[in-house]
Amino acid sequence: MIEGKSSEHNEIYFVKVGCGPKKGFMEPCFLCKLFTMNNTNILTPWNAADKLAWFNEQTIKRSYKNEVVSKIDDLKKDFKVEEYGSLKINPERYPLYLIKSKNIDPKKKTILITGGVHGYETSGVYGALAFLKDEAKKFTDIFNIICVPCVSPWAYETINRWNALAIDPNRSFIPNSPAEECRLFLTAIHSLNIKIYAHFDLHETTDTDNSVFRPALEKRDGIIQEVWDIPDGFYLVGDTENPQKEFQKAVIDSVRRITHIAPADNEGMIIGVPVEQEGVINYELKKLSLCGGCMDPEFSTTTEVYPDSAKVTTENCVKAHVAAVLGGTEFLLSIL
């Protein structure tokens, strides 16, 4: 932090290094708004104008149509593809797709795969599509397969964690969600009228979590956020209330054939959470309104790859997600 005094007001403002002086003096940019009052530093949460200013800074960086929808189209010969809605920000640009077994059988157990809940977590989107292309047909006689490969297409194109309203979808899987992406997803899955047996939610943990997204969260909410050590390797997030340890182990054992598993830090933690077994931590999925808990499945895991590791490639990250779903599905097959 650096300190500067406004020439128009007598308050002292604290602006994070990198915000820069404005109009020839230090004043709080809309992102920071950290100032002193009665000798106490106060972070001011964003208001509607701040969120709009953030939105106006976002730019399209890649193509959902060319990079995701085209791959979905390629799956139509083996799966049924349904459009379950579109994002209001641009309905033509952001249709939402659900891919499922051609013949859903209520007597079969159902596996759900989701990717792109956080649009910037690229390999989760590609991993979901790659599993359908390369592996899923092995299991369609035994399981119903349902996949939503890109829950948040606007965030995919702008490489964001949040949606266009600065809402984190992966804290918003609740009825009447303020996040359109979550609300439409939940409506679509519930409309199938089928119990979800297992849910694989595919994610990444990236360096930008610390450099971009956690600082933005701090500014949006006005709450200090500690940065965490980004784990170098693959790990899973299970459900505190329903950990299913053998299932998680089967996923880890499958992935280790493709890439390295994240070690615990010196305190026995990954991202500040105690490690339950190698490469596995647990969250309260339903309490936190996370995607992995929204359908209350018997088996749930959230995969996390680290694409910024010097030990991996983009292809390796995608294959790690495929291996995770494959290993978990083979485990489920073994216990039928």
Contact 37, 139 (CB under 8 A): no
Packing angle of the helix pair 314-334, 122-134 (nearest 10 deg): 50
pLDDT, greater one: 220 or 14: 220
Q: Please choose, from the candidates 96, 100, 95, the residue with its C-alpha nearest in 3D space to the C-alpha of residue 113.
A: 100
Which two three-digit tokens encode residue 178? 């303020």
Q: How far apart are CA 33 and CA 126, in angstroms?
A: 38
pLDDT one-digit tens code per residue, 258-278 = 999 999 999 999 999 999 999
Question: What pLDDT does residue 40 have?
Answer: 41
pLDDT at 8 (0 to 100): 31
The CATH number of 64-334 is: 3.40.630.10
CA distance 45 to 30: 10
Spatial separation of the C-alpha atoms in residues 4 and 57, rounded to whole Å: 25
Is residue 286 scored above 90 in pLDDT? yes
- Nearest of 318, 257, 317, 312 to residue 130 by alpha carbon: 318
Residue 129, amino acid: L
Read off the pLDDT of residues 61-81 as tens digits, 9 standing for 90 and up: 999 999 999 999 999 999 999
Tokens of 35: 């100032």
- Determine the pLDDT at residue 42: 67
Element (H, E) at 321: helix 314-334
User: Looking at the predicted structure, is the pLDDT value of residue 36 above 80?
Assistant: no
Examine the pLDDT at 11 and tell me if it is beyond 70.
no
pLDDT > 70 in the chain, percent:
88
Question: What local confidence, expressed as pLDDT, does residue 160 receive?
Answer: 98
Distance separating alpha carbons of residues 261 and 270, to the nearest angstrom: 11
pLDDT band per the 50, 70, 90 thresholds, residue 9: very low
Reduced to 3 states (helix: H, G, I; strand: E, B; else coil), residue 208 is helix
By the 10 Å C-beta count (0-12 exposed, 13-18 middle, 19+ buried), 89 is classed as middle
Phi, psi of 104 (to 5 degrees): -70, 125
What is the model's pLDDT at position 216?
95
Q: How far apart are CA 131 and CA 94, in angstroms?
A: 23
Higher pLDDT, 16 or 224: 224
Give pTM, 2 decimals.
Answer: 0.88
Tokens of 26: 């230090």
pLDDT(18) > 50 = no
CATH 3.40.630.10 segments of the chain:
64-334
Cβ neighbours for 168, distance < 8 A, ≥ 6 positions apart: 118, 161, 162, 179, 217
Q: CA–CA separation, 235 vs 251, rounded Å?
A: 10
Give the pLDDT confidence of 290-324 residue by residue, as tens digits. 999 999 999 999 999 999 999 999 999 999 999 99
Could you report the per-residue pLDDT of 218-261, keeping only the tens digit for each?
Answer: 999 999 998 888 999 999 999 999 999 999 999 999 999 999 99
Given a cut of 70, whether residue 213 has pLDDT beyond it is yes
